[in-house]
Structure 1
Amino acid sequence: MTVPVLTIDGPSGAGKGTVSRAVARKLDWNYLDSGSIYRSLAVAALVAGVDINDEPSVTAVAEEMKLAFDCGDELTVFLNGENITSQLPLESTAKVASIVAAWPEVRRVLLQKQRDFKVLPGLVADGRDMGTVVFPEATIKVFLTASAEERALRRYKQLKEKGIDANLAQITCEIEERDRRDSERASAPLKIAEDAVLIDSSSMSIESVIAEVLALFP
């Protein structure tokens, strides 16, 4: 039996995770947060003390790390048995994740781990290349975006709510730089799949975005 897949791609801070988890719960489907996989690798690489600009070293960490996900209302991520969820939203983690995600060998190692999430009754996968590289055969593809300013403001509010010191101007610059790096990288750059539905969430509520995605199902 064919396993249906919904992919939701887009830049960081567009609301992919919140929307994807909500849609997965409503459909009672499995959920893959590919961003957490790369951010987890970033944490693992930092803990291991390897040079993040050395592809073989980062690839070795990727091959050895063991990840587990608890996908309730909030996503909980375990790296080698340790809850690292609080480390994933940090800008330092995001910056390293964007760098290591550009390595072809790292992507090769993690690609199969992502595809293994494709099991019945279905899968909602969010990331940057779910619809273009990981699941090009996906039943429905969405590209969710928002302006860099709006995404920076969302991230700023998230960090402040968690008691983490943050600078809005700095976050905006980092998001713009990450967008450029993700779009220009040679391996699986951030782009809209030809058959994807584009949704700009800049002036939309999360509830409105969720409803629009669910309306795509026949």
Structure 2
Amino acid sequence: MKKIVIAIDGHAGCGKSTTARLVASKINYLFVDSGAMYRAITLYVLQNEISTDNSNEIIKYLENITLSFEINPETRKNEIILNGKNVEGEIRGLRVSNNVSKISAIKEVRSFLVKQQQELGKQKGIIMDGRDIGTVVFPNAEIKIFMTASIEARAARRIEELKNKGESFSEEDIIKNLEERDHLDSTRKESPLKKAEDAIVIDTSQLTIDQQVDKVIALVETKTESL
């Protein structure tokens, strides 16, 4: 089977990363969670008490940040490494979620990460999810998918995710966070969240993760058979 690039974009909490990770595992592709990269930089900013409003200071500190991924031997998941430390758990908290869209809007931060992401895709056989993968990172990807879901469905998933980590937040707080992120992601000047013209839309509101995975794999099989 010929290796291709699969780009998945969409709103927060619609199942992009989980679906992409499972698809990658099933078809033996490299999975890259681009959102984890932005979250890791956000975590670095918060840990070092840099003001999230001080973009100049944040840009200056980028040279101190090294990011990579490693496979967790127990879960077989690709996890983010920030300056030599696995921070996969830390980047998923609400504090990072509340600030990541602001950090992601900084042009220099996006340029810093897009360059790394594009290097990863040169060998093909990669599936990456995020906000601007099909429009900026891989505009020539063989498959582009745009995932969305109702705010209620996304909030329920995020609550369950946080619950599994031992964290508890009200539905109201989660919906507020998602709405704020949607607004910031879609209206930012640099690489706003939007559907690529040739992207296939998948509404995951009523779909299980397995159904999402099956839909994506079906698209991959159809595409690779035609190449």
What range describes the TM-score normalised by the shorter chain of this pair?
Answer: over 0.9
1:124 aligns with 2:127: yes
1:209 aligns with 2:185: no
Tell me the distance in 1 between the aligned counterparts of 2:149 and 2:219.
Answer: 20
Tell me the distance in 1 between the aligned counterparts of 2:88 and 2:46.
Answer: 15
Aligned length: 217
SS of corresponding position for 2:12: coil
1:34 aligns with 2:18: no
Offset from partner CA, 1:76-118 (integer Å, 9 cap, x none): 2221111211111111101211101001111111110111111
Equivalent residue, structure 2, for 1:47: 47
Equivalent pair of 1:31/1:71 in contact (CA under 8 Å): no
Letter in 1 for 2:216: V
Equivalent pair of 1:63/1:109 in contact (CA under 8 Å): no
Equivalent residue, structure 1, for 2:116: 113
Q: 1:135 aligns with which of 134, 138, 153?
A: 138
Using structure 1 for the length normalisation, give the TM-score: 0.94
Distance verdict in 2 for CA 1:192–1:137, change over 3 Å: same
Equivalent residue, structure 2, for 1:168: 171
SS of corresponding position for 1:166: coil
Offset from partner CA, 1:123-152 (integer Å, 9 cap, x none): 101001000011001010000111111111
Q: Say which structure is richer in helix.
A: 2
- Which runs of 5 or more structure 2 residues have no equivalent in the other structure? 223-227
Tell me the distance in 2 between the aligned counterparts of 1:104 and 1:119.
Answer: 23
Equivalent residue, structure 2, for 1:198: 201
SS of corresponding position for 2:198: coil
Tell me the distance in 2 between the aligned counterparts of 1:151 and 1:63.
Answer: 35
Distance verdict in 2 for CA 1:83–1:122, change over 3 Å: same
Tell me the distance in 1 between the aligned counterparts of 2:197 and 2:124.
Answer: 26
Displacement after TM superposition at 1:119 (Å): 4.0
Tell me the distance in 1 between the aligned counterparts of 2:21 and 2:67.
Answer: 18
SS of corresponding position for 1:141: strand
Identical pairs, percent: 37
Displacement after TM superposition at 1:74 (Å): 3.0
1:62 aligns with 2:62: yes
Tell me the distance in 2 between the aligned counterparts of 1:120 and 1:109.
Answer: 20
Which deviates further from its counterpart, 34-43 or 79-88? 79-88
